[in-house]
Amino acid sequence: MERPYSNLRCIGCGRDYPLGEVRYECDACSGLLEVAHDFDRLPPVNGAAWRRLFDTRLGTVAGIHQSGVWRFHELVLPDLPAGEVVSMPEGNTHLYSSKRLQEISRTADVRIKHEGENPTLSFKDRGMSAGVSWARHLGARQVACASTGDTSAAMAAYAAQVEGMRGVVVLPRGKVSMEQLSQPIAAGCLTVSLPADFDECIRLLRDVCKRLSIYLLNSVNPVRIEGQKSIAYEMAQQLEWDPPDWVVVPVGNAGNISALGKGFADLRALGIIDRVPRLLGAQPEAAAPLARAHREGYREHVRVKAKDTVATAIRIGDPVSYDKAVGAVRASGGAFISASEQDIMDAKALVDRTGVYVCPNSATAVAGFLKAREQGIIAAGERVVIIATAHGCKFSQATIDYHGGRLQGVEPRFANRVVEVAASASAIERLLASGPEGPPLRKDGE
Ligand code: F0G
């Protein structure tokens, strides 16, 4: 057999393991593993040639290159034969210019990359396409993940594409949205609900997977990160290979921010871009171990007990990819920041009002960006891309509660109340007669 292009490598001690082995940590030091590619052996050989290759694949209408992950196949999993890829396809998400955010923050260039436009409405489809493809390649019959909702939705959809593969998802009871919960049920996964928070769900599941040899598809699985990296590639390509100064992203288990760091580092190593963006990771105050670690100069590994937050998908106190995330953020000259519930929902209302509908987790990144501007971490002349990680429609209850003034501890400052009138033409007419400047959107004294 040909020598493989990629290995598993410990980020702590550098020890290598074959990529074909199922393992999630280093035997020697328990460090996290990453996939290390021998890019030197790949043709073509310079940045311009790589850019041309990826650009010629844009607009492909058939085959794996129509995917925003597998357009970059050589940099994702070069050892996986093209015929074994499991793809919906995913990626190719829009990069929206946000004039409103530019005005409010007085920043030169602010865009939102909307990963909620993926097939299961979150960014997780990128990593899961790689993870499930590799699971099938290894012959795994069962795949499993613990999840705050989106990972399970993605795994369920991709596992459903593979005949004979069973998905098992473990969810914290009452802590995922109805829309998220419906996804693994619909796609035929074994859906298990525990009276526990996410941190406990993943701890328990890791143990069970080890004992029963079930393939674990949480982002501690380094293959997931390889697919996830494609956000960085795709963003750079959309910006004609001229990356922004900052990329802002909500952080939970910290896989995505680690993947962004690795993705941009790959592009620079290959000469495809000439500098990497700084990374800003945003967490809700209710679950902000990395923001605290940043404030404290990364003196020690911070774990917290996560409290309730509107950003339920990032309600995580002990992120699995902590060390990778800290490494990526520090290497980029970036930061971690936290945002209050009020700031998260205000930021969400602001972006939603522009017609780009985001979820509370994504809004945490928007709030983090606005705070970073206020604090001067991000400068006025800089170019910023904020990653919206999931679609607002996956978390509709938060939107409805906010606009209805029913979100505990949050003032509905930008509420757009539903107006109830009698079922008669005259009642509707009275409401509309005076035009857009007419009656207030809610009755006095309400
Ligand atoms: N945004 C959304 C919508 C998410 O679902 C998640 C993570 C994140 C941000 C944070 O990304 O974990 O890579 O730092 N959701 C995981 C899940 C934990 O189980 O769906 P991260």
pLDDT tens readout for residues 105-133: 999 999 999 999 999 999 999 999 999 99
What mean pLDDT do residues 192-205 have? 97
What mean pLDDT do residues 312-324 have? 97
Residue owning tokens 């909702």: 149
What is the per-residue pLDDT for 439?
47
What mean pLDDT do residues 378-401 have? 98
Confidence of residue 426 (pLDDT cuts 50, 70, 90): very high
- Ligand 1 atom closest to the Cα of residue 145 is 19
CA distance 17 to 3: 13
Q: Please say if the pLDDT value at position 440 is more than 60.
A: no
Q: Which helix (H) or strand (E) holds 352?
A: helix 341-352
What mean pLDDT do residues 173-180 have? 97
Confidence of residue 163 (pLDDT cuts 50, 70, 90): very high
Q: Mean pLDDT, the chain, as a whole number? A: 96
- Ligand 1 atom closest to the Cα of residue 394 is 3
What is the per-residue pLDDT for 446?
41
- The percentage of residues in the chain with a pLDDT greater than 90, rounded to a whole number, is 94
What is the per-residue pLDDT for 118?
98
Task: Please give all residues whose beta carbon lies within 6 A of any atom in ligand 1, as ranges.
Answer: 122, 124, 147-151, 219, 250-257, 313-314, 359, 361, 389-390
- Ligand 1 atom closest to the Cα of residue 148 is 19
Query: Atom 15 in ligand 1: which residue has the minimum CA distance?
Result: 313
CA distance 95 to 385: 8
Label the pairing between strands 109-114 and 383-388: parallel
- Number of H helices and E strands in the chain, helices first, is 16, 13
| Mutational pocket test of ligand 1: of 114, 121, 122, the residue with most ligand atoms within 8 Å of the beta carbon | 122
382: exposed, middle or buried (C-beta count within 10 Å: 0-12, 13-18, 19+)?
A: middle
Asked if residues 321 and 219 have their Cβ atoms less than 8 Å apart, the reply is: yes
Asked if residues 128 and 154 have their Cβ atoms less than 8 Å apart, the reply is: yes
Q: Please say if the pLDDT value at position 87 is more than 70.
A: yes
What mean pLDDT do residues 342-350 have? 98
Kindly provide the b/e burial profile for residues 131-162, where b requires at least 16 CB atoms within 10 angstroms of the residue's own CB.
bbbbbbbeebebbbbbbbbbbbbbbbbbbbeb
What is the per-residue pLDDT for 249?
98
Confidence of residue 436 (pLDDT cuts 50, 70, 90): confident
Q: Please say if the pLDDT value at position 183 is more than 90.
A: yes
Residue owning tokens 């409010």: 104
pLDDT tens per residue, range 19-71 = 999 999 999 999 999 999 998 888 778 999 999 999 999 988 899 999 999 99
What is the per-residue pLDDT for 437?
63
Q: Please say if the pLDDT value at position 165 is more than 70.
A: yes
What mean pLDDT do residues 183-198 have? 98
Confidence of residue 445 (pLDDT cuts 50, 70, 90): very low
- Ligand 1 atom closest to the Cα of residue 218 is 19
